[in-house]
Structure 1
Amino acid sequence: MADPFYITTAINYPNGRPHIGHAYEAIATDAIARYQRMAGRDVRFQTGTDEHGLKMVQAARDRGIETRALADEMSGYFQEMAAKLNISFDRFIRTTDPDHYAASQALWQAMADAGDLYLDRYEGWYSVRDEAFYDEKELVEGEGGVKLSPQGTPVDWTAEETWFFRLSKYQQPLLDHYAANPDFIRPESRRNEVLRFVEGGLSDLSVSRTSFDWGVPVPGSPGHVMYVWVDALTNYLTGIGYPAMDGDLAAYWPANLHMIGKDIVRFHAVYWPAFLLSAKVALPKAIFGHGFVLARDGRKMSKSAGNVADPLALADAFGVDALRYFLLRDISFGQDGSYSAEAIVLRANADLANSFGNLAQRTLSQIFKNCDGRLPAIHGHSPADTALFALVDKTVRESMPHAFDDLALSQATEAWVQAVFACNAYVDDQAPWALRKTDPERMETVLATLYICIAQLAVAIAPVIPASSTRLLDAMGVDPALRTPTAIGTTWYPLLAQGEFRLDQPVPLFPRLDVPAEVAP
């Protein structure tokens, strides 16, 4: 049986339409899920929308519509984004789904059975925008002495009856878990932030609200709904059948990887494992807090700054795979990175159109023209052929898999494009177009060598640019069963297809891009 691999994005808060940050997380997680499937893992990939909380209530009130209507509309936009960006999820979960209410209430009951919930009165600072409670010591001073959260968002003094979770009880168990599992929180900068926070002492956490009713009802406590982060985090269990401990949950839990933004690491690395410890459910294996996609000037995108990028408009303007490739190639995963229309165009033209696309186009065009579309024969190998095979083989079997396994996505694409450059240098050096009359057998061997290397590279980059990779491999007649890095190697060549398969006239894979005025920042 294939080794299971359960990966999740953070579920998106749909009080507004998707922005480029949502797309970045979805694309990165999708690339990892696709890589793991290609490596033979039994992958379960979940994404979705987090639809409860005061922010949703206020956003709906501002528009004069029911909160459920806002949730339905906005969740639809996120589903549209996932479809547009070719996100290969297994479940798109909504926290308004009936099975999610059942799972959240079951987790709540498990924490109650552990003696970790008690009723009291909460008085303290709350950020509606962050949906987070903050201690006085965490606040920062804004203009005019206004108190702000560590994220720079407004906070309000809140006082109401609430259920509390005994978070303080889990301070040492959490520290013990971090020490025993150094890769539980990644990258290291996020781990260090969490360690400092937990070592500074944990206060019990308010986990219900009575000031509004848009949320999962607290079992046996009329008038209380769960704090939005309690039910939001539970989604990772809902999607695999909790509270039933057999079936999908037994197969896929604990999750291999929660992919989240760096601004919500505390919720995932402190609150979530504490809830699970209380409920006696195994902890996830790893949490990765990626960075932000920033505007061209390095500022965080926001509606007030007028610099929010619409991922659907970007996909329409540049192409889905060009956008996917840029985000994973140009942003070092785990760090912040800047976006601009010019940067996307520059990267897509340089790596995809001019390098890989041109490599495929001129190789397949020569096979179509000089070999009547039939796959050329191999007539022995020269040292140059052997060297190229060795470089490409090492790239797709070692360098790229190691980078994907380490979540070093920009390094994976860098290794890939260096192999593409090597193939282009080989073409220029071997000049197969000049061999047609002087040495036709050598011409065939050169084209066959390139055909194999292009197939290997198309397979290896498929997690990043899946549609383009599939289109190229289909055009090349590569059997879908062979589309893994280990199936296509230097000894592989579809000899049986030589008399049966014929290339059609090749079509350019990546058109050259210009900067559309309507999406330029």
Structure 2
Amino acid sequence: MSATAFISTTIPYVNARPHLGHALEYVQADAFARHAMSQKDVFFLSGSDENSLKNVLAAEREGVSTRELVDRNVRYFEKLLEAMSIGVSDFIRTSVSPDHIAGATEIWRRMDARGDIYTKDYEGLYCVGCEQFYSPAELVDGKCPEHFTVPELVSERNHFFRLSRYGDRLLEELESGRLKVYPESRLNEVTSFIRSGLEDISISRSVERARGWGIPVPDSDGQVMYVWIDALTNYVNALGWTRESDEYKRFWVDADKRTHVVGKGVLRFHAVYWPAMLLSAGMPLPTEVMVHGYITTGGQKLSKSLGNAIDPMDLVDRYGQDALRYFLLADFSPFGDGDFSEERLVTRYNTDLANALGNLLSRVTAMTVRYRGGVVPPSGPLGAPEEALGEQALASTREADAAMERYDHREALARIWDLVRRANAYVDERAPWHLARAAEQGDAQAAQDLDTVLHHTYRVLQRLGVLLRPFVPQAAERMLQALNENPGIQDADLALDPAGRSVEKAPPLFPKLELA
């Protein structure tokens, strides 16, 4: 049986267009999925959270139906996925997917059958932006710590989940490593929260407060599921688990990894509430939760409600997907917050892609055409420079792979760029233009050395094309095509001798950018 993995983004509310923070999570998860694909069959899931009160209230403000609003806005998210080359296996819509509605309902029934759901009157402080109740101690100056708004006092009779039953079992999963949380600081945050004592949580709301929108609670008049209970079940519902589908068995039950990529603001839901729900329902837990920080501007989190959202589609239109993907993965910490700057985006692209990588590809292919008629020559005997270049290629491959296993895309790209720098330095040190001149004057050793340089720089470019596919897939494909290489080349193919391969001078794959 082949190895399998499941990777998901969170499913965002669709009360407005996506902002740059959504693009960050999409690109991160896509890079992790593409990296895993080199060794496993991967199911990569994203979608839209359409049953939230935020969507209902946004529709009311616009004077349109909730259905009209979500149908319109979800298309903006789908267009962003396409524009950023996010290669999802499925995109689940929680208000229309039959599998989702059936799955959420059945998980509720299983939790109820376990005796984990009961009804009581409740009063609490509710932030619509977070779709979350807060205790007074969790507020900052009486305001939501995420949206800086004063929560509303809500009083109603709701269904509750006995989360308090699952503290010890959750700690066992986390401390055993069966459920991993990256980075360690977030794991510590989760375990501290559990040790402080878990309280039961409200998992429904009245139809009146939900304005009639949402998935009905089974066998209960006048209640719909609380959005987070509904939304979290999407991860298994998309696999059609209630239909006993092969996909659910392959990519959830039997998967080597079940990974959620989430923002730090929803850590509690994914590392506490969701695993507890699965324990209650008797279903396998995720194996890993990768927690990223926020993109900020002026030190403040990007947010539609705060009015400082940055439109990623605008950035793609002005700078291209290669520039934006590379910047988000190479410049931003995978785990911490980072301030956005267009100036830094342009500088990073020009320095790394246009100058370092683009220049390497351009001059190696141009010299192969000029000195060897566009045919990759066989290698002569290896000297110390070639040995050092080969060692760097293997080290960069090994270290980048290890970094991605830790979900550290920035470290992975830094190690790949060690090879880019080493290759450029190798070309400068070996000076093939001087070797060509000497060869023209009859120096047989220089001619052989020139062959060696062109051969091994070509091989480095092959390797770089493979290494960069998870991060800038379109650019990597164009790069491999410029080498007359199959874009589907695998690691094992890199051992094959490329001598005799025909190449042409590569067009400028990374034109210099100007700040728009």
**Shorter-chain TM-score range:** over 0.9
Any stretches of 5+ residues in structure 1 without a counterpart?
517-521
**Structure 2 residue aligned with 1:152:** 148
1:401-431 Cα deviation digits (max 9, x unpaired):
1111111111100001111000000111111
Cα distance in structure 2, aligned partners of 1:103 and 1:94: 13
Q: Is the 8 A contact 1:138 1:150 kept in 2?
A: no
Write out aligned runs for 1:323-338 (5 A).
323-338=324-339
Query: In the alignment, is the contact (CA less than 8 A) between 1:9 and 1:47 conserved in 2?
Result: yes
- Describe the shift of the 1:128–1:494 C-alpha distance in structure 2 as closer, same or farther (beyond 3 A): same
> Which residue does the alignment assign to 1:405?
405
Which of the residues 257, 262, 265 maps onto 2:264? 262
Cα distance in 2, alignment partners of residues 366 and 61 from structure 1:
63
Q: Is the contact between residue 130 and residue 153 of structure 1 (CA under 8 Å) also seen in structure 2?
A: no
Report how far residue 191 of structure 1 moved: 1.5
Mapped partners of 1:266, 1:151: distance in 2: 17
Judge which range, 95-104 or 433-442, deviates more. 433-442
Q: Partners of 1:148 and 1:371 in 2: how far apart?
A: 66
CA distance in 1, matches of 2:117, 2:234: 20
Deviates more, 1:100-109 or 1:249-258: 249-258
Q: Which residue of 1 aligns with 2:236?
A: 237
CA contact (8 A) 2:161 2:203 kept: yes
Matched letter for residue 402 of structure 1: A
Question: SS of 1:253's equivalent?
Answer: helix
Task: Provide closer, same or farther for how the CA distance between residues 465 and 32 of structure 1 changes in structure 2, counting only shifts above 3 A.
Answer: same
**Residue of structure 1 in register with 2:468 after alignment:** 461
Q: Contact between 1:367 and 1:447, CA under 8 Å: does it hold in 2? A: yes
C-alpha distance in 2, partners of 1:80/1:463?
Answer: 20
Is 2:478 the partner of 1:471?
yes
Please, which moves more after superposition, 468-477 or 240-249?
240-249
Q: Secondary structure at the match of 1:163?
A: strand
1:177 corresponds in structure 2 to 173
Answer yes or no: is 1:493 the counterpart of 2:485: no
The root-mean-square deviation of aligned C-alpha atoms, in Å, is: 1.6
Are 1:460 and 1:485, in contact at CA under 8 Å, matched by a contact in 2? no
Question: Partner of 1:214 in structure 2?
Answer: 213
Helix, strand or coil for the counterpart of 1:493?
Answer: coil
Letter in 2 for 1:157: L
Tell me how far apart the structure 2 counterparts of residues 469 and 366 of structure 1 sit (CA, whole Å). 21
- Counterpart of 1:101 in structure 2 is 101
Find the aligned partners of 1:304 and 1:2 in 2 and give their Cα distance: 45
- Contact 1:127–1:149 (8 Å) recurs in 2: no
Using the size of structure 2 for normalisation, the TM-score is 0.94
Provide the secondary structure at the position in 1 that maps to 2:300. coil
Query: Which moves more between the two structures, 317-326 or 56-65?
Result: 317-326
CA contact (8 A) 2:362 2:505 kept: no
Q: How does 1:119-518 map to 2 (within 5 A)?
A: 119-142=119-142, 147-148=143-144, 152-181=148-177, 184-210=180-206, 211-212=209-210, 213-254=212-253, 256-295=258-297, 297-303=298-304, 306-396=307-397, 398-438=398-438, 439-481=446-488, 483-489=489-495, 492-495=496-499, 498=500, 501-516=501-516
Shift in CA distance, 244/484, structure 1 to aligned 2, threshold 3 Å? same
| Secondary structure of the corresponding residue to residue 493 of structure 2 | coil
Distance 1:389 1:141 in 2: 58
**Structure 1 residues 125 and 505: CA distance shift in structure 2, 3 A:** same
Return closer, same or farther for 1:181/1:379 CA change in 2, 3 Å cut-off. Answer: closer
**1:16 pairs with 2:26:** no
Separation in structure 2 between the aligned mates of residue 454 and residue 259 of structure 1, nearest angstrom: 31
Q: Tell me by how many angstroms 1:471 deviates.
A: 0.6
Aligned equivalents of 1:44, 1:303: Cα separation in 2: 30
User: How far apart, CA to CA, are the structure 2 residues paired with 1:161 and 1:152?
Assistant: 27
Q: Please name the residue that 2:442 is paired with.
A: none
Question: 1: distance between equivalents of 2:307 and 2:273?
Answer: 33
Using the TM superposition, name which of 285-294 and 377-386 deviates more.
377-386
**CA apart distance, 1:486:** 3.9
8 Å contact kept, 1:51–1:95: yes
Counterpart residue type for residue 356 of structure 1: L
CA contact (8 A) 1:165 1:207 kept: yes
SS at structure 1 position matched to 2:299: coil
Q: Aligned residue pairs: how many? A: 502
Cα 1:19–1:114 change in 2 (3 A) is same
Cα offsets for 1:194-236 (capped at 9, x unmatched): 2222222222111111122211111111221100001100000
Contact 1:321 1:468 in 2 (8 A): yes
Could you give the per-residue CA deviations for residues 82-120 of structure 1, whole angstroms, max 9, x where no partner exists? 000000110011101122101100111111111111122
SS of the residue corresponding to residue 242 of structure 2 reads coil
Gaps of 5+ in 2: 439-445
1:437-473 CA distance string (max 9 Å, x none):
3122321221111000111111111110110110110
Aligned residue identity for 1:200: S
User: Which 4+ residue blocks in structure 1 deviate beyond 4 angstroms?
Assistant: 303-306
Question: Whole-Å Cα distance in 1 between the matches of residues 136 and 337 of structure 2?
Answer: 28
Contact 2:323-2:345 within 8 A present in 1 as well: yes
Q: Which amino acid aligns with 1:60?
A: A
CA distance in 1, matches of 2:199, 2:363: 64
Deviations along 1:48-101, one digit per CA (max 9) or x if unpaired, are: 110112111100000011101111111110000000000011001110112210
SS class of match (2:301): coil
Partner letter of residue 367 of structure 1? T
How many Å apart are 1:381 and its aligned residue?
A: 1.9
CA-CA distance at 1:480 after TM superposition: 4.0
1:321, distance to aligned residue in structure 2 (A): 1.2
- Secondary structure of the residue that 1:294 maps to in structure 2? strand
Contact 2:477/2:487, CA 8 A, preserved across alignment: no
Cα deviation per residue 1:114-161 (whole Å; 9 max; x = unaligned)?
A: 11111222211111110011223323324xxxx545653331111112
1:519 maps to none
Identical residues among aligned pairs (%)? 39
1:27 lines up with 2:16 in the alignment: no
Cα distance in 2 for residues equivalent to 1:273 and 1:337: 29
Q: Which residue of 1 aligns with 2:90?
A: 91
Q: Which amino acid aligns with 1:7?
A: I
Contact 2:13 2:52 in 1 (8 A): no
| CA–CA distance in structure 2, aligned partners of residues 127 and 312 of structure 1 | 29
Q: Secondary structure at the match of 1:487?
A: helix
Cα deviations across residues 225-284 of structure 1 (Å, max 9, x unaligned)? 100001100000011112244511111115521000000001111110111111011111
Contact 1:134–1:149 (CA under 8 A) maintained in structure 2: no
